[in-house]
Structure 1
Amino acid sequence: MSSGTVSRRWWAPVGVGVVLVVVFVALVTVSATLRQYWPFLVLSALVAAVPFLLRSPAPARRPLPVVAGTAAAEQVGEVALRASAVSVPKISATGGENEDAYAVDADAGYAAVADGASASFGAADWARTLCETFVAQRPLDGPASASWIGAATSAFVRPTGDGADWWSADAARRGAHAAFVGLAVLRAEQGLVWRATAVGDCVLVHLRPDGDGPPIVTAFPVDHSASFPQNPVLLSSEGDGRPPVRSIDGTAAAGDAWLLMSDELARWALRRYEVGEPVWDVLVGGSAAQVRALIGRARSEQGVADDDMTVVRCQAG
């Protein structure tokens, strides 16, 4: 807040006070009846002014903080961004294997989810490298940049495969593949803004409560449960044939929420929304146990594949 704004807040009551004093003096001067009661009038005015004289000036509005983490973040100032994640491996996974990955940058307001392709070698490590590189590079602080993908390709530690196993050796040569979606919630001159970038079929859903009605939903880059591609484009650890990176941006406000989800959970959640049974409340505000129970419910429904399911949920409030 500028000092000029603070000054205007004080000029208004001072100006009103001056006008009232002038009016009071004029009335006492022309009216003999009021003149004899002037001490009581002055005392009444002082009593009425006490609350305003004792009130502290309104604090300057802080820049909107962006706070994220794997647990509820402490509120700072008036608005904060809280973030947490839940990731559940596929039912058939052994040893807790999970080819989904996520990352959250607590200071910069960045979050990401990646879904490693099971058919590729080292998919889980590649998904993790993508997420970690994205939040480290912060490519959405300015105009959206895809340079972080090259950095991820360089940082990825490639598995060599077992020389006695021709399949793993060949798969290692072909590289790892993953779908990806990343979010940045940033402060700007016009207020809070959000930006996202995606490749493949990981999905970001932006929710904004709209009075008493259902939330306004923006889903990116897939906006309908029937629109998920059979063969999504994926990011390759070898950097060959790099697919186009899609981007989106928008304004944000207190109460907004963002869900970053791997494909099978996103498909199911969008389908529930389309049939009038949204599950946004649990995905945004439910405990980790409630989200896991919701994922169990999703897996019990017909047509839901046995896949890793991950959600990073962020909320400004």
Structure 2
Amino acid sequence: MTNRIPGAESWRAPAGLALLLVGVFVALVVASPVLGRYWPLLLLSTIAALPFLQRERQDPRLLPLRSPAVDDGDRADLAGRDLLVGPALRASAVSLPKVAAVKGENEDAYRIDTERGHLAVADGASSSFRAAEWARMLCATFVEEEPLRRARSDSWIAQATAAFRDGTQQPSEWWSTEAAHRGAHAAFVGLGVIQGERDLVWRATAIGDCVLVHLRTAADGREPVVTAFPIAHSAAFPVNPMLLSSVADGPPPVGYIEGTAALGDVWLLMSDELARWALRGHEAGDPLWSLLSRGGEPEIAAAARTARAAGVMADDDLTVVRCELVEVDMRC
């Protein structure tokens, strides 16, 4: 499943469809004995409306990041507030299954909520019990609970564990029962971009070998400043990473990082094999940041096929959630 960056799609397909619909509309009007005499006026009105319809389709309005002072009960009163002018997150995702995967089989999961300012990626361990469901539960709980709004908090993990156990049916086959006892396992990385009273901060938390990369334009405007967390080098990925388990009494050590956020910042949340490939390219002086932050699914899939054929990428699920901090004016 892919959510593309707004404006990345070509305008030709929707414009062609719109013209086709106008043609059908005009034909129906001309054929009508009642409306036929007014067809020139109706045609001109429809054509005049097309640019406005196209602009709304290609440029969806972004919601400003929520302030800590604004709760759900206040949202109806936002129309005249200064919060309608300010920073917002533009986010999308690309998730590709293994080459040999059955249709729809993907143990990676992600969740995006740009209004809350929380995004997540989880990589379910393929050999564990219901790994994809566990990965989805971790991402959903993280975003709903917004734990990074309160700085460091891992209470959401216990909530995800309880919800997963409550929603898991007991298997009947002996091998499934044994797998259920071993539990589901997943690596995880989550990002929160928080609007404070004076400035913006970004916070991230990670368990295992999912990776967040923070990109900021350098002073010379060329190569971005790159911060990678919790793994900063392609050779540093562990063979047996610590993972979140659905049957553990508590989580393993949870990593945190925090920094200031600025307009133009880009964050990439990646599952392990994609992150390893990206860091390797960065270290070799052949960065993939532009592809991963703005490329569509076909472009990323083609690059991944080439990397696999060259033996520099393993056949694994690949997921990237990418978001950018932009400024919007909702009053326009």
**TM-score band, normalised by the shorter chain?**
0.7 to 0.9
Question: In structure 2, what is the equivalent of residue 34 of structure 1?
Answer: none
Q: Which amino acid aligns with 2:210?
A: C
Distance 1:80 1:276, change over 3 A: same
Corresponding position of 2:224 = 215
* Alpha-carbon contact 1:66-1:186 (below 8 Å) kept: yes
What's the CA shift string for 1:127-160, capped at 9, x where partnerless? 0000000001110111210000000001112243
Structure 1 runs (4+) greater than 6 angstroms displaced: none
Secondary structure at the counterpart of residue 212 of structure 2 = strand
Q: 2:131 aligned with 1:123, yes or no? A: yes
Matched, 1:160 2:170: yes
TM alignment of 1:245-256, pairs within 5 A: 245-256=254-265
Quote the Cα distance in structure 2 between the aligned partners of 1:298 and 1:112.
25
Match of 1:147 among 148, 155, 158: 155
> Which residue of structure 2 aligns with residue 102 of structure 1?
110
Instruction: State the structure with bigger RCO (CA 8 A, min sep 6), 1 or 2.
Output: 2
Match of 1:191 among 199, 207, 228: 199
**Would you say how many aligned residue pairs link Structure 1 and Structure 2?**
244
List alignment gaps of at least 5 residues for structure 1.
Answer: 1-63, 68-75
Tell me the CA shift for residue 241 of structure 1.
5.3
State whether structure 2 residue 270 is matched by structure 1 residue 261.
yes
Letter in 2 for 1:158: T
Give the aligned residue type for 1:65.
Answer: P
Moved more, 296-305 or 95-104: 296-305
For the 8 Å contact 2:147–2:153, the answer to whether it is kept is yes
Q: Which residue of 2 aligns with 1:11?
A: none
Aligned to 1:59: none
SS in 1 for 2:121: strand
Which 5+ residue runs of structure 2 have no aligned equivalent?
1-62, 67-83, 327-332
> In structure 2, what is the equivalent of residue 236 of structure 1?
245
Name the CA distance, whole Å, in 2 between partners of 1:137 and 1:78.
24
Q: TM-score, normalised by structure 1?
A: 0.74
Distance 1:124 1:295 in 2: 22
Q: Give me the whole-angstrom Cα distance separating, in 2, the residues matched to 1:116 and 1:251.
A: 30
Any idea what SS the aligned residue of 1:80 has? strand
SS at match of 2:187: strand
User: What value does the CA root-mean-square deviation take over the aligned residues?
Assistant: 1.7
Q: TM-score, normalising length from structure 2?
A: 0.70
Tell me if 1:225 matches 2:224.
Answer: no
Larger Rg: 1 or 2?
1
Distance 2:196 2:244 in 1: 30
Identify if the C-alpha distance between structure 1 residues 154 and 90 changes in structure 2 by more than 3 Å, giving closer, same or farther: same
Given candidates 279, 285, 293, the residue that maps to 2:288 is 279
Alignment partner, residue 297 of structure 2:
288
Give 1:189 shift. Answer: 2.8
Contact 2:90 2:114 in 1 (8 A): no
What is the distance in 1 between the residues matched to 2:151 and 2:87? 25
**2:158–2:250: 8 Å Cα contact kept in structure 1?**
no
Q: Judge conservation of contact 1:122–1:158 (CA < 8 Å) in 2.
A: no
Q: Which of 134, 146, 163 is the aligned partner of 1:138?
A: 146
Matches within 5 A, 1:288-307: 288-307=297-316
CA distance in 1, matches of 2:298, 2:169: 34
Aligned AA (1:299): R
Partner of 1:65: 64
Q: Distance in 2 between matches of 1:105 and 1:239?
A: 28
2:317 is equivalent to residue 308 of structure 1: yes
Once the two structures are superposed, residues 17-73 of structure 1 have per-residue CA deviations (whole angstroms, 9 ceiling, x without a partner) of xxxxxxxxxxxxxxxxxxxxxxxxxxxxxxxxxxxxxxxxxxxxxxx9239xxxxxx
What is the CA distance between 1:301 and its match in structure 2? Answer: 2.7
Distance 1:159 1:89, change over 3 A: farther
Partner of 1:93 in structure 2? Answer: 101
Q: Percent identity?
A: 59
